[in-house]
């Protein structure tokens, strides 16, 4: 099967030019000003951007959490991702406490295998790491699981102590792999929560009011200090506040190998959403919580100046009916997380390019290339280049949509609300190609399945 994408404006993290792109099989094989070649299908990309497929480095499909399971599995979640122009996700496999991480990986392979429509990799969530289990980390790295997530939050669930952090960080560093950190002081936060509950404060808004930004900043500071001593590259996930960003900047100024991700929810939404009536605030119960609005400008500036390196969604959807409502009487029982995997490219195009904060190149970098380079997928993924996988989006920079659970072009996630309901965005992924297959065409799914596990390279190595 061959595909000729004709006359588009090819935009990568570094380049911007008009060209034809030829795809043969799974790869890009030629790029030229005008290619005089035959192809099984020609796509007219005049007036459109031709960009690398989005990479969302932070999703939770089919994840047991908060007494229930995230509403999208690898089938529905990757179809929704594809509709939004994302062609690779890096999801999280979970180690059950006291059990092998390799067993956890196996469970997640079974969840995804044969179901995914786009390619995927796994980070490994470590919930305990005694010395005798450390050799498992060598095996994980050999199998292409080259990053870990550890939690300072959620005591009694995913939380690990500082000793576990240090042991895991050290081995990860020795193996040329990366640590992803959920940095929030969950122990102190739980004390604050106890106090709120004792005072009868049980509404959704108390989720945010019991999680001060200073406790996020403390977690970031501690993670950076431990990573510095353990000598491992660090990636702070879902950074939400100015206080936390200050700690990242400080660490980077000192020369520590730390970078950070933020998410569209922290750029577009704020703490006032928790005030919504009729339990609507539960839609936004996620961790870290939404912050006071002024933080948004600081995060946008952080992205512009490079203090923040990547934008992922932390897609972790729970339906209002049957899931979020578990916490109707007590915010602690609201499953934490919100949907977003489908909306990232359009939201970020709106925020970066339409609203003139950043260049087209930076938008591509933040939605694709940075994740590829950070997580061992580049140059197989994350760019449009000869020899790279043909993960390509033909993006209409002029098309406007209103994001809504009711809009057939913006909502394929298996969840009964949209985090960005009513948001108007300009820029839409019209044709989405995953390893040479057209998976979405003018908003319609054209094929499903066919996504593959991608064994990722180690830190600083290329993946071909």
Interaction site with ligand URP (CB under 6 A): 60, 182, 238, 286-287, 314, 316, 336-337
- Provide the minimum distance between the beta carbon of 423 and ligand URP in the complex, in angstroms, as a whole number: 20
- Provide the minimum distance between the beta carbon of 402 and ligand URP in the complex, in angstroms, as a whole number: 25
Q: In the numeric block, which tokens belong to residue 274?
A: 């928790």
Check residue 344 for interaction with Zn ion (CB under 5 A). no
Angle at 452 between CA 376 and CA 124, to 5 degrees: 50
Asked if residues 288 and 316 have their Cβ atoms less than 8 Å apart, the reply is: no
Q: Is 81 or 393 the residue whose CB approaches ligand URP more closely? A: 81
- Provide the minimum distance between the beta carbon of 242 and Zn ion in the complex, in angstroms, as a whole number: 19
- Provide the minimum distance between the beta carbon of 310 and ligand URP in the complex, in angstroms, as a whole number: 15
Q: State how far the Cα of 98 lies from the Cα of 92, in Å rounded to an integer.
A: 18
Query: What is the phi/psi pair of residue 347, to 5°?
Result: -60, -45
Name which position in 182, 207, 221, 283 contacts Zn ion (CB under 5 A).
182
* Contacting range for Zn ion; rule: CB under 5 A; set: 64-72, 166-174, 247-255, 312-320: 312-320
Q: What is the 3-state secondary structure (H, E, C) of the chain?
A: CEEEEEEEEEECCCCEEEEEEEEECCEEEEEECCCCCCCCEEEECCCCEEEECEEEEEECCCCEECCEECCCCHHHHHHHHHHCCEEEEEEEEECCCCCCHHHHHHHHHHHHCCCCCCEEEEEEECCCCCHHHHHHHHHHHHCCCCEEEEECCCCCCCECCHHHHHHHHHHHHHCCCEEEEECCCHHHHHHHHHHHHHCCCCCCHHHHHCCCHHHHHHHHHHHHHHHHHHCCCEEECCCCCHHHHHHHHHHHHCCCCEEEEECHHHHHCCHHHHHCCCCHHHHHCCCCCCCCCHHHHHHHHHHHHCCCCEECCCECCCCCCCCHHHHCCCHHHCCCCECCCCCHHHHHHHHHHHCCCCCHHHHHHHHHHHHHHHCCCCECCCCCCCCCECCEEEEEEEEEEECCCCCCCCCCCCCCCCCCCCCEEEEEEEEEEECCEEEEECCEECCCCCCCECCCCCCCCCEC
Q: Is 4 or 267 the residue whose CB approaches ligand URP more closely? A: 267
- Provide the minimum distance between the beta carbon of 211 and ligand URP in the complex, in angstroms, as a whole number: 11
Q: State how far the Cα of 448 lies from the Cα of 287, in Å rounded to an integer.
A: 32
Q: Is 314 or 430 the residue whose CB approaches Zn ion more closely? A: 314
- Provide the minimum distance between the beta carbon of 269 and ligand URP in the complex, in angstroms, as a whole number: 13
Q: Is 51 or 316 the residue whose CB approaches ligand URP more closely? A: 316
**Partner that binds at residue 179, options ligand URP, Zn ion, none, CB closer than 5 to 8 Å by kind:** none
Closest CA to 260 of 293, 219, 215: 219
**Partner that binds at residue 286, options ligand URP, Zn ion, none, CB closer than 5 to 8 Å by kind:** ligand URP
**Partner that binds at residue 178, options Zn ion, ligand URP, none, CB closer than 5 to 8 Å by kind:** none
Check residue 389 for interaction with Zn ion (CB under 5 A). no
Report the residue closest to Zn ion, judged by CB: 182
Q: Is 336 or 396 the residue whose CB approaches ligand URP more closely? A: 336
- Provide the minimum distance between the beta carbon of 437 and ligand URP in the complex, in angstroms, as a whole number: 30
**Partner that binds at residue 295, options ligand URP, Zn ion, none, CB closer than 5 to 8 Å by kind:** none
- Provide the minimum distance between the beta carbon of 289 and ligand URP in the complex, in angstroms, as a whole number: 9
**Partner that binds at residue 412, options Zn ion, ligand URP, none, CB closer than 5 to 8 Å by kind:** none
- Provide the minimum distance between the beta carbon of 136 and Zn ion in the complex, in angstroms, as a whole number: 22
Q: Is 314 or 389 the residue whose CB approaches Zn ion more closely? A: 314
Q: Is 4 or 93 the residue whose CB approaches ligand URP more closely? A: 93
Q: State how far the Cα of 111 lies from the Cα of 339, in Å rounded to an integer.
A: 19
- Provide the minimum distance between the beta carbon of 314 and ligand URP in the complex, in angstroms, as a whole number: 5
**Partner that binds at residue 336, options Zn ion, ligand URP, none, CB closer than 5 to 8 Å by kind:** ligand URP
Q: Is 314 or 416 the residue whose CB approaches Zn ion more closely? A: 314
- Provide the minimum distance between the beta carbon of 105 and Zn ion in the complex, in angstroms, as a whole number: 17
Check residue 314 for interaction with Zn ion (CB under 5 A). yes
Q: Is 238 or 411 the residue whose CB approaches ligand URP more closely? A: 238
Q: Is 157 or 229 the residue whose CB approaches Zn ion more closely? A: 157
Angle at 19 between CA 16 and CA 25, to 5 degrees: 110
Closest CA to 267 of 418, 149, 420: 420
**Partner that binds at residue 394, options Zn ion, ligand URP, none, CB closer than 5 to 8 Å by kind:** none
Count of residues engaged in binding Zn ion, rule: CB under 5 A: 2
Chain CA centroid to CA 409, Å: 21
Q: Is 314 or 430 the residue whose CB approaches ligand URP more closely? A: 314
**Partner that binds at residue 307, options ligand URP, Zn ion, none, CB closer than 5 to 8 Å by kind:** none
**Partner that binds at residue 337, options Zn ion, ligand URP, none, CB closer than 5 to 8 Å by kind:** ligand URP
Q: Which chain residues interact with Zn ion by CB under 5 A?
A: 182, 314
């Amino acid at each position: 099967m061959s595909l000729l994408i004709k006359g588009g404006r090819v935009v990568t993290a570094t380049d911007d030019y008009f060209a034809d792109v030829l795809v043969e099989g799974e790869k890009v094989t030629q790029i030229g000003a005008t290619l005089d070649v035959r192809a099984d299908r020609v796509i007219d990309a005049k007036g459109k951007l031709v960009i690398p497929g989005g990479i969302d480095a932070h999703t939770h499909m089919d994840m047991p959490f908060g007494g229930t399971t995230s509403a999208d599995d690898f089938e529905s979640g990757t179809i929704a991702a594809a509709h939004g122009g994302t062609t690779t996700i890096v999801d999280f496999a979970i180690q059950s406490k006291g059990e092998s991480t390799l067993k956890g990986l196996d469970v997640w392979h079974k969840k995804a295998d044969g179901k995914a429509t786009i390619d995927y990799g796994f980070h490994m969530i470590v919930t305990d790491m005694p010395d005798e289990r450390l050799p498992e980390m060598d095996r994980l790295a050999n199998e292409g699981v080259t990053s870990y997530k550890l939690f300072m939050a959620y005591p009694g669930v995913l939380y690990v102590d500082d000793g576990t952090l240090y042991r895991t960080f050290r081995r990860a560093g020795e193996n040329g792999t990366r640590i992803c950190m959920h940095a929030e002081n969950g122990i102190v936060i739980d004390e604050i929560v106890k106090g709120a509950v004792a005072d009868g404060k049980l509404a959704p808004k108390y989720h945010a009011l019991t999680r001060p930004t200073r406790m996020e900043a403390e977690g970031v500071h501690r993670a950076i200090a431990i990573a510095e001593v353990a000598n491992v590259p660090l990636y702070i996930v879902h950074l939400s506040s100015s206080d936390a960003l200050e700690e990242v900047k400080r660490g980077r100024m000192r020369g520590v190998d730390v970078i950070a991700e933020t998410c569209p929810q922290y750029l577009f939404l704020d703490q006032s959403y928790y005030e919504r009536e009729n339990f609507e605030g539960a839609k936004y119960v996620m961790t870290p919580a939404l912050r006071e609005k002024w933080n948004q400008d600081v995060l946008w500036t952080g992205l512009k100046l490079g203090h923040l390196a990547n934008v992922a969604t932390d897609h972790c959807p729970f339906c209002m009916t049957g899931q979020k409502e578990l916490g109707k009487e007590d915010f602690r029982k609201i499953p934490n997380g919100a949907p977003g995997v489908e909306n990232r490219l359009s939201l970020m195009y709106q925020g970066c390019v339409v609203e003139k904060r950043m260049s087209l190149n930076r938008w591509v970098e933040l939605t694709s290339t940075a994740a590829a380079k950070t997580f061992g997928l580049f140059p197989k993924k994350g760019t449009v280049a000869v020899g790279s996988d043909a993960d390509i989006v033909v993006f209409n920079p002029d098309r406007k949509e209103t994001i809504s659970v009711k809009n057939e072009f913006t909502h394929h996630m298996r969840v009964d609300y949209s985090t960005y309901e009513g948001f108007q965005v300009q820029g839409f992924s019209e044709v989405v190609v995953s390893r040479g297959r057209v998976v979405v065409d003018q908003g319609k799914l054209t094929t499903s399945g066919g996504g593959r596990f991608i064994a990722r390279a180690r830190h600083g190595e290329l993946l071909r």
